[in-house]
Structure 1
Amino acid sequence: MIFTDSIAVSGVRRTEDGYLVAEARVARTGIQDYLGTEIDPENEHGLRDKPIVRVYRPESAVFHADAMHSYAYRPMTNGHPGGDGVNSKNWKDVAIGSTGGEVVRDGQFVKVPLVLMDAKAIEDYESGKRELSMGYGAEVVFQDGVSPDGEAFDCFLGPMKMNHLSLEHRARGGEHLRIGDGKPNTPTGGHDMADALRKLLVDGISIDVTEQGAQAIEKLNTKLADATTATKTLTDAHATAIALKDGELAKKDAEIDALKAKQLSDADIDKRVTARADLLTKAKTIADADYTGKTDAEIRKAVVIAKLGDAAVAGKADAYIDARFEILVEDAAKNPANDPFRQHMIHQDGKPGENPADVARAKMLADLNSTQPAK
């Protein structure tokens, strides 16, 4: 976590190059006021919803040897960069100067030299943007108590590690942590609240929040946006899956309808059987042959060939062959003698002694005679 704090500056002067150099108090001991969302954003210690969290910085945090080393050669920024502060990836974009290496203790403060090198930042300083806010990291010990000065606190810090120094309109540390002269206005409500307040649009409403408060809100907004995106992704995936399934079901329904259309009703079957029997009868009337396994078209062609020869169908279309077959059927109907069944019955009836009744009577008498004993 990157904390911020306010600082004052003295001994301001301009160099021949136009830079602004000064000395500044960059840190102090004592109690600082923070928002609950800054100190305990996940509410792991029950402080997130507390309006003001009092954080104590003992001398062991401010003047620790590692802390003192970290105040030197830190980048300066024109406003806190947010996130994890300044690093090698964003230094070129946000740095406007730096602190020097002569770090000293000044009573309850830490004083360092600094230089502003960016023209816009120097212009902002000359327009009244005089306070400094230190961005630093430190371990937060969530244990309340009372400082040596008798002030109650909610938690305290371990050794501090400075990350950057920001030029601000109003900072957390109070009037002592400033560049140059002039006393800032103390925020209303009795608290020296953090850094320059930022305007943030939350759900369509413009609010003023501290830098770290803004970071907490932006973090929550990012999580909300991510959740919204994830929900939309799942919803779209579900809709796509449903659409695919609907498509598969529609395809199956179409296949079922096609199969149903191919199925023959009892009436259709009767019609086809009758038509087949009629065709076979006509074919046998013209040319009595075995037509088993042949299609209707093959039967007609076979009949035409049987009556007229192969030349009659060579190179001819099915429609021509069908027409020739129908002509043969018509010719056969004009001459009943051409009916094979009729001729068969006439032939059978014409055989002497082969009347079925006579044959049966003769057989019966023969059987009776064979059973009589000889005289």
Structure 2
Amino acid sequence: MAQFRDTLTLDAPRRTKDGFLAVRARAARTGVYQYLGSEIDPQNQHGLRDKGLVNVLRDDATVFDETAARSFIGKPITDNHPREAVTSENWRDHARGTVMGAMRDGDYLAFDLLLTDASAIRKVDGGKRELSNGYSADIEIGNFTAKDGTVCVARQTKITGNHVALVDAGRAGPECAIKDHAICDAITADELAKLQASLTKDSNMKKIVLDGLQVDLADADAVAVAIDKLQTKIATSDKALADAQSAHDKAMAAKDAEIDDLKSKVVDQAQIDALADAKAAVVADAKKIAGDKLGDTAGKTVADVRRMALDAKGIDTKDKSDDYVEARFDALKDASPNKPKVLDSIRNPQFVANDSASIHAAAKSARNR
């Protein structure tokens, strides 16, 4: 027995004193309906599974069969089609109301529906007003002709109702909504794009794997949930990537700053040579001043060498500034180690005296001449 879902139409609803929503819905009509071949012949026993759309006849005897009509009474109203048939085991999970009655209304089969769930009622008030029957039926394969002459490859018989679903978009399209006098066919050729998958487990509707979960393409809600999950993962991954890139950029900026700082501290060879020459000159001057008392100048700065020279000469530099030390050092290095030479130009222009004794001796010698 195959499973089917047909779209209904609703007349104007009314509210009970308890807040429930009561409405009469016109359901299936007689005539020709088009289904996917995979719904009619899922095992391809008759070669119809891969034929795409096929015509199926539903005649008066099937639509208005008393047993078929009564099979919907007491069945639950659901919010969207569940993925499995509603049973006593899962009724609490899916039921949002009850089918209270079934009757013939002209060329239509009508149901009295009572929505008892506040959330479902609010969705109806918010615009979710299309309905879709969930049922099973036997399929007779053969050559059948409708009243209008349309040839059909199959005929539905022995319909058994399972539930009536509240949906956003049923097979009958947006005209099948909760409003006055809106009468819609159960399934028409113009609505084939919205054809939903069979409730049977052996349906051959294509499935895809989203985030490790196999999803029936006919189950719009499951597909939406899977896609939302994937989009959330993508957003999370994008944020993590952006955060990682930001952290990397900050680390690189810090490293570049460190490199620039180190570069600023590097002295080139010319500067090194100049510093070495300057120290060598100071050391040479210091040796002239202090002689062997200077000590080892290795590893000493120019300022240190100056202080060593002055200390060796007995000049205390402990509390003296570098400027003072440099001035005293320069004064000592510029001073000659000998007394100024005095030229005796009076008596002996060729004689040079270096001290007072020599000068007196030279003067005495000059008098004796």
Partner of 1:90: 90
Distance 1:70 1:140 in 2: 18
Q: Is the counterpart of residue 135 in structure 1 residue 112 in structure 2?
A: no
Distance 1:25 1:147 in 2: 22
C-alpha RMSD over aligned residues: 3.6
| 8 Å contact kept, 2:172–2:187 | no
Q: Is the counterpart of residue 25 in structure 1 residue 31 in structure 2?
A: no
| 8 Å contact kept, 2:13–2:21 | yes
Q: Which moved more, 1:202-211 or 1:163-172?
A: 202-211
Q: How does 1:361-372 map to 2 (within 5 A)?
A: none
Distance 1:45 1:187, change over 3 A: closer
The count of corresponding residues between Structure 1 and Structure 2 is: 211
Partner of 1:158: 157
| 8 Å contact kept, 1:132–1:178 | yes
| 8 Å contact kept, 2:173–2:191 | no
Distance 1:106 1:188 in 2: 20
| Structure 2 counterpart of 1:202, from 204, 208, 213 | 208
Distance 1:210 1:150, change over 3 A: farther
Deviation string, structure 1 residues 79-135 (Cα, Å, up to 9, x no partner): 11123x11111101100001113x221122111211111122112212222111111
Q: How does 1:317-332 map to 2 (within 5 A)?
A: none
Distance 1:143 1:179, change over 3 A: farther
Deviation string, structure 1 residues 239-285 (Cα, Å, up to 9, x no partner): xxxxxxxxxxxxxxxxxxxxxxxxxxxxxxxxxxxxxxxxxxxxxxx
Q: Is the counterpart of residue 117 in structure 1 residue 123 in structure 2?
A: no
Distance 1:8 1:39 in 2: 24
Distance 2:215 2:193 in 1: 15
| 8 Å contact kept, 1:33–1:193 | no
- DSSP-derived class of the 2:57 partner: strand
Distance 2:47 2:149 in 1: 24
Q: TM-score, normalised by structure 1?
A: 0.50
Larger fraction in helix: 1
Partner of 1:5: 6
Q: How does 1:167-186 map to 2 (within 5 A)?
A: 167-173=166-172, 178-181=177-180
| 8 Å contact kept, 1:74–1:99 | yes
Partner of 1:61: 62
Distance 1:188 1:143 in 2: 21
Deviation string, structure 1 residues 159-214 (Cα, Å, up to 9, x no partner): 21111111112223567754325799x999834455678999614599994359x9
- DSSP-derived class of the 2:104 partner: strand
| 8 Å contact kept, 2:172–2:191 | no
Which consecutive unaligned segments of at least 5 residues does structure 2 have?
199-204, 224-369
Letter of the 1:89 partner, please give it.
Answer: E
Distance 1:211 1:110, change over 3 A: farther
| 8 Å contact kept, 1:194–1:211 | no
Shift of 1:4: 0.8
Which consecutive unaligned segments of at least 5 residues does structure 1 have?
216-375
- DSSP-derived class of the 1:190 partner: helix
Deviation string, structure 1 residues 313-360 (Cα, Å, up to 9, x no partner): xxxxxxxxxxxxxxxxxxxxxxxxxxxxxxxxxxxxxxxxxxxxxxxx
